[in-house]
Chains A and B, each alone.
Chain A
Amino acid sequence: MSSSERRLEFRNYFQDNLGSRMVTDKIVKIIVIACVAIAIIPLGSILVDVVRMGVEIISFEFLTALPGAAGSGEGGIANSIQGTFIMIGMTSAIGIPIGVLSGIYVAEYANSRVGKLIRFFNDVMMQFPSIVFGIFAFLFIVLVLGKFNLWAGAIALSLIMFPIIARTTEEALKLIPDTYREAGHALGIPKAIVTVKILLTAAKGGIVTGIMLSVARIAGETAPLIMTILGSKGWFRGTETAMDALPLTIWRLSLLPYDEAVMFGWGAALVLITILLVLNMSVRYLVLHRKGGSGSLGMFMRITGGKK
């Protein structure tokens, strides 16, 4: 049907609309840049405010002393910094092993139906408002034990952490071509050892990235901590008492009617953001300097629905 004249017509038709296509291209480019700008403005203004307000209050005393009387402008937030690091440590101790192992299970062991089911529940858990985990830990740990305690907080936070790690671990393992699994099995290596010694080391970059990003996520959570570790004005005194953490401090101080307290809140926000920034920079370092890690950041954004 298509004679050579007809083909020439096709070609002319195709080349004739070149101008309009160039215009469309330009418009799309402008829209994309505008969207990026709109997305950056709130983020940028929050950062600028936090740094501007926070820098004024931060001093050696602020970072190393216990809080003084509310609104007095004395003392610091050292106990909250300590609490944040303790919560990160305890949560990681629960969340990382469960997350990595369930990710391995879904990627390497589960048949497709069980795997899909677990993945579905992981995704649902990632969409839960974090206060739900706080209420859960409050009902089943705090009320049962009769006291606020750190393990309740760590368990609530680990419920936020492990689905993220499970999904990143699963995705990182799925990126490894089957040929390495086959090579391992062909050498007569048992499956568990193939998984741990060959696949896990190859997926290390992606898994570590997922862990670091989930740590950044839980370090900023407030709601679960209100119900579990409550907040305090003292140093760490064992896991069976209340304790403070940076997000709690920020939340509490920002509600107080004293300017000095609000300023302390800004300072605590800056400290928290700095800690998270350092964590994120270590993540970037790991992504850029370790093989197998590239692309994990985008993967994380995809599976957590773009939440930080």
Chain B
Amino acid sequence: MEMNALDVLNAMKNDEQPSTKRNEPEKEIPNNMTGDGKYKVLIENLAVAYNGKKAIKNINMKIPDKAVTALIGPSGCGKTTLLRTINRMHDLTKGAEVTGKIIIDGENVYDSYINPILQRRKIGMVFQKPNPFPTMSIWDNVAAGLKLNGVKDKSILNEIIEDSLKMAYLWDEVKDELKKPAVALSGGQQQRLCIARALAIQPEVLLMDEPASALDPIATQKIEQTIIELKKHYTIIIVTHNMQQALRVSDRTGFMYLGDLVEYDKTEKIFKNPEKELTANYVQGRFG
């Protein structure tokens, strides 16, 4: 496990240097959504039912690497359900049944040989309400994913914690009080702490479920800046109720309605010139 932590850390460090790769802009991803290796997550014929009641039906989506993909739609349309399929969180929900495939780096995460625990270590998740572990300090919270998975080397942990907090733009605010209880932070700081906690396990994909919905506009702005910064390194999928937020942070947007993916395209197109009337009505605020 300790070797693993070193490896991931090194991989991450190496990742940061060749910025030439990063400069290939995401915008060049063709809009027709045929695969060309730049997609990180492929969703195929995905459906989820809770106790036999369908929550999402037959979703197909290709989610680009190193970009932000937003999922929008009215309450109950299945956005969060879709997001949670990606790291198999439905395994924990009684009565939830998932069919179809989610392919990350060529592997279907629902294949029987895949261990969901190992799978989740590749995927970070940030929840709607900030949920730092209540009995732990700031340091322990960020370290939790590594420490509780067997990483013991303090110097590696310290390095990863500093790096993760810097990535989440929280380092400067907490660097002198890492031993303070996490719940003493403000709501916005707690949410950035949760982002840092998710980043500490060195994920490749970051799932965010309305990460700013419980925060005030200033804290929201900080989270959005963080997201825009993070997309240089991660594939980010964000569920949001706030259409302005989707417009500000995302490269692609999927509009969902009653369990269907109505339209999925470049964010600009979804908001300025959508194909479907339903999408147009929603993004222009005629229902929701």
Contact = CB atoms under 8 A, between A and B. Distances in A.
Interface stretch (A185-193, A214-222, A230-238): A185-193
A90 B133 CA distance: 34
B129 interface: yes
A105 B276 CA distance: 50
A126 B169 CA distance: 53
B145 A180 contact: no
A187 B201 contact: yes
A279 B116 CA distance: 45
Contacts of B194: 183
Contacts of B117: 185, 188-190
A291 B194 CA distance: 21
B143 to A, nearest CB: 10
A202 B133 contact: yes
Nearest to A176: B134
A188 B120 contact: yes
A120 to B, nearest CB: 20
Given A179-B129, A182-B89, A182-B127, A189 B145 contact: yes
Contacts of A112: 94
Nearest to B87: A186
A186 B135 contact: no
Interface string A269-308: 0000000000000000000000110000000000000000
A180 B144 contact: no
Given A112-B94, A182-B92, A187-B121, 10 more contacts: A182-B89, A183-B127, A185-B120, A186-B87, A187-B198, A188-B118, A188-B145, A189-B145, A197-B148, A204-B135
Contacts of A189: 117, 144-145, 148-149
A28 B147 CA distance: 56
Contacts of A187: 120-121, 144-145, 148-149, 197-198, 201
Interface in A153-194: 177, 179-190, 193-194
Nearest to B122: A188
A198 B125 CA distance: 17
A111 to B, nearest CB: 8
Interface of B: 87, 89, 92, 94, 117-125, 127, 129, 131, 133-136, 144-145, 148-149, 194, 197-198, 201
A201 interface: yes
A180 B133 contact: yes
Contact of A185 (B92, B135, B149): B92
Contacts of A202: 133-135
B133 A179 contact: no
Interface of A is mostly: helix
A184 B134 CA distance: 12
A95 to B, nearest CB: 25
A182 B129 CA distance: 12
B89 A186 contact: yes
A292 B136 CA distance: 13
A289 to B, nearest CB: 14
B92 to A, nearest CB: 6
17 contacts: A112-B94, A182-B127, A183-B125, A183-B127, A183-B194, A184-B144, A186-B89, A186-B120, A186-B123, A186-B125, A187-B120, A187-B145, A187-B148, A187-B201, A198-B133, A198-B148, A292-B134
Contacts of A183: 125, 127, 131, 133, 194, 197
B202 to A, nearest CB: 11
A177 B118 CA distance: 24
Contacts of B119: 188
A184 B149 CA distance: 11
A183 B132 CA distance: 8
Most buried by A among B121, B135, B148, B198: B135
